[in-house]
Amino acid sequence: MAVDLAPEPDVADVARRTATFIREAVIPVEEEQHGVARSEEVRRTLQQAAKEAGVFAPHVAREYGGLGLDMRGRAAVFEEAGYSLLGPLALNIAAPDEGNMHMLEAIATDEQKERYLRPLAAGEVRSCFAMTEPAPGAGSDPSALTTRATRTADGWRIDGHKWFITGADGAGFAICMARTSGQPGEAGGATMFLVDGDNPGMKTVRHIDTLDESLYGGHVELVFDGCVVGEDAILGEVDEGFRYAQVRLGPARMTHCMRWLGIARRAQDIAVARAAERRLFGSRLGELGMVQQMIADNEIDIAASRGLILRACWELDQGHSASQSTAVAKTFCAEAIWRVVDRAVQICGALGISGDVLLSRYLREVRPFRIYDGSSETHRWAIARRVLRRHDAAAAR
């Protein structure tokens, strides 16, 4: 059986053009902004430049203005975009918008696609995904969902408390997960609702101060208090929200890995350049065995992460659930990318922890990835359960 890991020629071309665009148009802005885009002017300027470079929205179907890449195609392009913290924002592939576009394409009605997907894909609006709640509500265990939606004469009323909702500040709409049947702890009974950003029943409580700052729109605490929406706000079917969430979560975990892999490569490049030029104890830093080991270990972690991403993407492209492969890839990548950036800081020494290079910013940005999209511990628990179930099934046969 032939195994070809090289991207298709058209994908390779997009990846090359993305790499050039990131280095020429995005990195200068990233360095000026210290890795954080804090204004709509910056976002719109970068996205217009990406459109002119022909690399905008590579994940979206062509009918909505994108390039229509599958998951394996995205892996090559998203990694190049992730070489800068502002690259995903420029290409309109940053979380949570990228995952929401993927889900809207798969689930939304034609009317919902025109109203929500098309402007989102064009960068005219942003969005957020409102599922996570303060403890003991939904988090790593979505079934703990407490936000409730009840039928009214005109549609639905949503009441509940959400927090850590990425991108909520200034979002044009939210996809809100609310319980329409059952009780917290039960596996079913959730429904997704499209809630316009100007709905008076969706209120911002505060911005949460966090370790990371590069995700545009921040991490926000929200309250849904008498938030009334119409019947046409239902995304998918009533009580099927948890099932629909899987359409988003597996691919979104992989696209997170792709983007952060780009930052790992950037950190490695900074460290290698430093090791090649810095002289001490009579030789180049890169000629010291301990430094060479860190450089080699970084290369191993980068290559292994890329291989696990491609395997999971192949399964997703084949229509498989890929639950195990995405969990394995997400867990490994989150920890490997942290190791790469941490070693890069160590190689660079005082320069690495200074503001003269962006390594300290990268370190703050990648650390939460071991918690976002399911903590490493939650994924390990799920991975082990699947292995044990597979063993029990084989033993029964």
Q: For residues 59 and 69, what is the distance between their CA atoms, to the nearest angstrom? A: 5
pLDDT at 1: 53
State the Cα angle at 376 between 371 and 377, rounded to 5°: 110
Q: What is the CATH number of domain 9-121?
A: 1.10.540.10
pLDDT at 236: 96
Write the DSSP assignment of 345-396 as a string of letters.
HHHHTHHHHSSSSSHHHHHHHHGGGGTTTS-HHHHHHHHHHHHHHHHHHHHH
The neighbouring-strand residues paired with 161 are: 223
Cα dihedral 136, 140, 142, 148, rounded to 10, equals: 40
Report the chain's mean pLDDT, rounded to a whole number. 96
Residue range 248-273, pLDDT digits in tens: 889 999 999 999 999 999 999 999 99
Helices (H), 143-240: none
Q: For residues 352 and 368, what is the distance between their CA atoms, to the nearest angstrom? A: 19
Phi, psi of 227 (to 5 degrees): -85, 105
pLDDT at 282: 87
Containing 176, the helix (H) or strand (E) segment is strand 173-179
pLDDT at 23 over 90: yes
Residue range 72-131, pLDDT digits in tens: 999 999 999 999 999 999 999 999 999 999 999 999 999 999 999 999 999 999 999 999
The neighbouring-strand residues paired with 279 are: 284
**Over residues 219-231, mean pLDDT:** 97
Which string of b and e fits 116-126 if b means at least 16 CB within 10 Å?
A: bbbbbbbbebb
What tokens appear for 6 in the block?
A: 């090289």
We find that the CATH architecture of domain 243-396 is Up-down Bundle (1.20)
Q: pTM (2 decimals)?
A: 0.95
Helices (H), 82-200: 87-91, 97-107, 110-112, 118-121
Cα dihedral 32, 38, 41, 46, rounded to 10, equals: 60
Residue range 285-312, pLDDT digits in tens: 999 999 999 999 999 999 999 999 999 9
pLDDT band of 180, cuts 50, 70, 90: very high
CB 368 within 8 A of CB 210: yes
Q: For residues 175 and 138, what is the distance between their CA atoms, to the nearest angstrom? A: 15
pLDDT at 2 over 70: no
pLDDT at 3: 65
Query: Which amino acid would we find at residue 378?
Result: T
Q: For residues 88 and 222, what is the distance between their CA atoms, to the nearest angstrom? A: 25
CB 362 within 8 A of CB 267: yes
Domain ranges of the chain: 9-121, 127-235, 243-396
pLDDT at 6: 82
**Over residues 2-11, mean pLDDT:** 82
Cβ within 8 Å of residue 69, ≥6 positions away: 11, 14, 58, 59, 77
Cβ within 8 Å of residue 115, ≥6 positions away: none
Q: For residues 20 and 95, what is the distance between their CA atoms, to the nearest angstrom? A: 22
pLDDT at 281 over 90: no
Q: What is the CATH number of domain 127-235?
A: 2.40.110.10
pLDDT band of 57, cuts 50, 70, 90: very high
The neighbouring-strand residues paired with 221 are: 206
Angle between helices 71-81 and 289-317 (to 10 degrees): 140
